[in-house]
Structure 1
């Protein structure tokens, strides 16, 4: 019996995907100015099908383009973020080769990059092109996922975009905390966070299947004060400050505290 719900969920997700992919392809071919509408609808549906409740706090920066820098915990981050905002994700190159996931990611205009410093610099032109078109970018500056409790160091190379001018001004950067705080209404702890957090070399499909059997997940997105490189003496300082802001917020979220 425990496998019936995830089987139904997987079938529903596949049908939902099959419905929307042709629509998105058509939009990309003929109505590209609306290219982020279907992905947002798609992610909203995924969250509903997978029983993910998303709670938003703080003000979302409306100036376009904005670079949203977000801590990374799980594959589940993508639909949670995609439900709330429109834009392109910056993902590791390996995602492009994932069956089905890679193809869907391309339809959302995802930018795939290697995680080495030289490769990050090499992709700045592609990212800047998106920004100059007015597209928001969603960036995970840890470069990999964490355990959902402790944030890994933000790589300052990812903040090189903030040093460039977009349409005559420095790019707006908004730190965002993503936190998974509850499972079926019960607070997640260090011992149970692995149900959601996808780290290391854990097999993706196995983790997805395990999560779908568990129940309702509460995800929080906490939006912090936007900044620009003008507020700092270097991109390294900017990266450190954004990391500290998000780390403090993650701790508050996991202990049920509001932002000050």
Structure 2
């Protein structure tokens, strides 16, 4: 009964808040009355609160531009975790555009949707991302190319760093800064998530969105750590594969550190 009440109240918060914030974001995008991420950050925080996410931040988003953020990926909630704390834009798989709530949220923050299976369109997509970075947007790349269960980091795909190469080759920038970021779900109701229970926070593969959303709304009180590493400069002579391996290594180190010593719940 308590879980049903929690789900009802959380959904009411999201619906009521969205009715106010969506028109404000549309107004902002058309008039420039506020920075594009101003309303979005409030919206992300509202959804994170409804889900019961308690976010602990270590480090900070780099002020250097152009900036590509290379992050691990565990769940669709990663968007709320990042979007509630820093001014970033996202790169997401194409089918997300049609998801309830998440699709609308993504479109309202000018997410770049990519179709990884269609190689013919990859050049245009990389060019758009490069252009956005050159114009000052910090773009978030979920470099594993898929979601994991939170226990193991999947290999970072070097092809996804093509936007950095294109920004340089097209003359949009002489170098691109790439910053490693780790997202780690550490506690549920204040109790550390062990290897067996950590997948509770994960949304993996082709799992339906609504059942996972229902579980999160029913549980609530999920602690997540957001770690920002030191950025590196990617220039004309940089190697994408080596950069992908370096980012993967640094993100893995931050993930392991967070799992070994999770911050106390509060």
Is 1:236 paired with 2:247?
Answer: no
Cα drift, residue 94 of structure 1 = 0.6
Report SS of the residue matched to 1:213: helix
2:160 matched residue in structure 1: 158
1:39 matched residue in structure 2: 40
Report SS of the residue matched to 1:153: coil
Are 2:187 and 2:193, in contact at CA under 8 Å, matched by a contact in 1?
Answer: yes
Report SS of the residue matched to 2:261: coil
Cα drift, residue 232 of structure 1 = 7.5
Cα drift, residue 33 of structure 1 = 6.4
When the two structures are superposed, what TM-score results if normalisation uses the length of structure 1?
A: 0.93
The 1:78/1:257 distance shift into structure 2, 3 A limit, reads closer
Cα drift, residue 194 of structure 1 = 2.0
In structure 2, how many angstroms separate the alpha carbons of the residues matched to 1:120 and 1:252?
35
The 1:168/1:108 distance shift into structure 2, 3 A limit, reads closer
Alignment of 1:51-90 (within 5 A): 51-90=52-91
Alignment of 1:92-241 (within 5 A): 92-116=93-117, 118=119, 119-163=121-165, 164-165=167-168, 167-230=172-235, 233-241=238-246
Report SS of the residue matched to 1:84: coil
Are 2:186 and 2:262, in contact at CA under 8 Å, matched by a contact in 1?
Answer: no
Cα drift, residue 231 of structure 1 = 10
Report SS of the residue matched to 1:123: helix
Cα drift, residue 79 of structure 1 = 0.5
In structure 2, how many angstroms separate the alpha carbons of the residues matched to 1:230 and 1:125?
16
Are 2:174 and 2:236, in contact at CA under 8 Å, matched by a contact in 1?
Answer: no
Are 2:71 and 2:143, in contact at CA under 8 Å, matched by a contact in 1?
Answer: yes
The 1:56/1:231 distance shift into structure 2, 3 A limit, reads farther
Residues 157-208 of structure 1, C-alpha deviations (whole Å, 9 max, x = no match): 1112222336542111100001001111111112111211000221110001
Are 1:120 and 1:158, in contact at CA under 8 Å, matched by a contact in 2?
Answer: no
1:251 matched residue in structure 2: 256
Is 1:21 paired with 2:22?
Answer: yes
Report SS of the residue matched to 1:17: helix
Are 1:161 and 1:171, in contact at CA under 8 Å, matched by a contact in 2?
Answer: no
In structure 1, how many angstroms separate the alpha carbons of the residues matched to 2:6 and 2:197?
21
What are structure 2's unaligned runs of at least 5 residues?
A: none
In structure 2, how many angstroms separate the alpha carbons of the residues matched to 1:220 and 1:205?
24
Cα drift, residue 60 of structure 1 = 2.2
In structure 1, how many angstroms separate the alpha carbons of the residues matched to 2:151 and 2:237?
27
Report SS of the residue matched to 2:186: strand
Cα drift, residue 257 of structure 1 = 6.3
Cα drift, residue 48 of structure 1 = 1.9
